[in-house]
Amino acid sequence: MSNVSKFQEKFIKRREELSSLLCIGLDPEWEKLPFSSLKSETPLFHFSKEIVEATHTYATSWKPNVAFFERFGSKGFKEFELYVELCKTVCPEVPIIADAKRGDLANTSKEYAKYYFETLGVDALTVNAYMGRDTLLPYLDAGGYIFILCLTSNPSSSDLQKLVLKKNNEFLYEEMSDFAAKLGEEYPGQVGIVVGGTHPAELKKIRNRHPDLFFLIPGYGAQGASLEEIYWASGKNSIINSSRGVTLLSREDGFSRLAKEKALEIQTQMNHLFH
C-alpha cells in the first residue's frame, strides 16, 4: 500500500476535540433545496457552501452522497468538486467520506480509486463488496479508507442481507462484517463498515463481534433512530450521520442558521453522552 489512510487519525482527533460523533451528511436533493440555492448558477454548490460555512465547527466528518450530484452529470460533478475543494479550504481538519457505494471489477475499481483518493483527495469512500475481495483492493492499495456496506438502513435491507448461511446459521450481514474485519487486519486502519442506525439490536450484535471496528451509521434523524440508542449500542468508534435532519430543515432564507442550531443541539446531546 502506498500510504496509510489518514481518515481514522483525522476522525479520532476531531471526535476528541468536539466530544462528538456527528457526521454531517450532504444530500442536496433538488426538490428540497432552499429557494435561494435554486436561484444560483450552481445550486448544489450554493447549498453545500452555506451548510459547510454554517456547520463546520460541529462536524467530525462530512458525508456527501454523490448521487445527488451525479443526477446532473458533468455539471453536477463540477459542483461536487467545488464542494470538496471548499471543505478542504474551510476546514481541512474535517475528514470527507464520499458516499458513492461504488463496486466494480478490479481494473475498474482502480479508476474510482484514482478519482476519489488521488484527484479529489477525499478521506474515505463507501463501497459495495458483493463482487468480492479483488474488487476492493485497488481502493486499499491507493491508501484510501473504505466503508463496506454491511447492514443498511432501508426497509428492504433484509431482502438479501438477512439471508441465513448454511455454514454457521448466521446472517449474510454478519459474514460481511467478518469479511470487512479480516480485510482490515491486512490493511490496518483502512476498513470500516456501514450499519444502519435503524437496527439498534443488530448494531449492538455486530459491535460485540467487532469491538474496535469503525462503523459509519446512517439512519439517525430523518430515518428515525435515536442518538442514545445508537451510542449505547455502538460506542465511540462510530460515525453517526445525519443528513436531512440537519441540513434540510427549511427551504426559506435562514435554513443554514437552522442547520447550525440543530448541529449544536446534537453536539450538546453528544457531549452529555460522552461524559
Residue 133 near residue 160, CB atoms below 8 Å: no
Q: Which of 6, 19, 115, 261 binds its own copies (CB under 8 A)?
A: 115
Nearer to its own copies, 59 or 148 (CB): 148
- Which one of 16, 130, 236, 254 is in contact with its own copies (CB under 8 A)? 130
**Footprint on residues 164-183 left by its own copies (CB under 8 A):** 164-167, 169, 172, 175-176, 179
The nearer residue to its own copies, 73 or 211, going by C-beta atoms, is: 73
Interface region with its own copies, contact rule CB under 8 A, candidates 35-43, 148-156, 231-239, 266-274: 148-156
Q: Are 235 and 207 in contact (CB under 8 A)?
A: yes
Query: Based on CB atoms, which residue is closest to its own copies, 178 or 261?
Result: 178
Cα 147 to Cα 23: distance, rounded to the nearest angstrom: 14
Q: Which of 6, 78, 88, 101 is catalytic?
A: 101
- CA–CA distance, 178 with 159 (Å, rounded to integer): 20
Q: Which of 53, 158, 251, 274 binds its own copies (CB under 8 A)?
A: 158
- Among 9, 128, 229, 273, which residue sits at the site for its own copies (rule: CB under 8 A)? 128
Q: d(Cα 86, Cα 56) in Å, to the nearest integer?
A: 11
**What is residue 171's three-state secondary structure?**
strand
CA–CA–CA angle 124, 24, 210 (5° rounding): 55
DSSP annotation of 220: B
Which residues in the 93-112 window bind its own copies by CB under 8 A?
A: 101-109, 111-112
Q: Rounded to an integer, what distance in angstroms lies between the CA atom of residue 179 and that of residue 149? A: 11
CB 123: neighbour CB atoms within 10 A?
23
Choose the binding region for its own copies from 77-85, 198-206, 224-232, 257-265 (rule: CB under 8 A). Answer: 77-85
Whether 49 is catalytic: no
Number of residues that bind its own copies (CB under 8 A): 60
Binding status of residue 119 toward its own copies by CB under 8 A: yes
Label residue 166 exposed, middle or buried (CB < 10 Å: 0-12, 13-18, 19+).
Answer: exposed
CB-count exposure of residue 273 (10 Å: 0-12, 13-18, 19+): middle
Footprint of its own copies (CB under 8 A): 27, 29, 65, 67-68, 70-78, 80-81, 101-109, 111-112, 114-115, 119-120, 128-135, 149, 152-161, 163-167, 169, 172, 175-176, 179
Provide the annotated active-site residues: 101
